[in-house]
Chain A
Amino acid sequence: EVQLVESGGGLVQPGGSLTLSCAASGFIFSDSAMHWVRQASGKGLEWVGRIRNKANNYATEYAASVKGRFTISRDESKNTAYLQMNSLKIEDTAVYYCTRVLVLPFDCWGQGTPVTVSS
């Protein structure tokens, strides 16, 4: 069964840092690009960023709203992708989903992990 499981969400103060993990199983993780998408309460989906696979040099790209503050990485030995979030702002409060692009974009999603930025 193809599965993505996020973890690491929680409450953090403005200016703080948090790292989310996305554990993948049931497919060849190394073939996939991994993306992060977030959704603030009552709002739409916002693409955060992605990391491509080894064949594409693990290239990363980020939304303008998080560029310079967020970093996506991956560990092939653990079949896990990460989202490191620094200098967090209140407007970063959202549920964060990881999702994959293998053949089709975003054909599998995790259950999401909530991040709350508040003092």
Chain B
Amino acid sequence: SYELTQPPSVSVSPGQTARITCSGDALPKKYAYWYQQKSGQAPVLVIYEDNKRLSGIPERFSGSSSGTMATLTINGAQVEDEADYYCYSRDSSGVFGGGTKLTVL
């Protein structure tokens, strides 16, 4: 099986751009998906197939992928965006990245 590697934490001030990366050897061949998990809640899919935003997700969320790295970008991060973010790459089974804690303060 393969692995997806994320930074443990990212911190930005409100209104700044937050970038969360996800690296893995499978990413050139597989789409990346991003999930947001706020404290005490179940995860929510925010970005699918590298760069598509799910309905209802704010436009400040975007995704990109190049080579072995996928990136979740939050333009003008808000306090309410503070959460854990997980990348996932679709295969016959499942592999999640280790998660990145985004702090906005």
Show the binding face of A for B, using Cβ within 8 Å.
35, 37, 44-47, 50, 61, 63-64, 97, 104-107, 109-112
B18 → chain A, closest Cβ, in Å? 19
User: What separation, in Å, do the CA atoms of A37 and B93 have in the docked complex?
Assistant: 11
A25 → chain B, closest Cβ, in Å? 16
Interface size on B, residues (CB 8 A): 22
A44 → chain B, closest Cβ, in Å? 4
Contacting residues, chain A, for B1 (C-beta < 8 A)? 64
User: What separation, in Å, do the CA atoms of A83 and B90 have in the docked complex?
Assistant: 21
Which of A35, A45, A47, A107 has a CB less than 8 Å from the CB of B45?
A: A107
B61 contacts the other chain (CB 8 A): no
Q: B94 and A47: CB pair below 8 A?
A: yes
- Of all chain A residues, the one with the shortest Cβ separation from B89 is A105
Contacting residues, chain A, for B98 (C-beta < 8 A)? 44
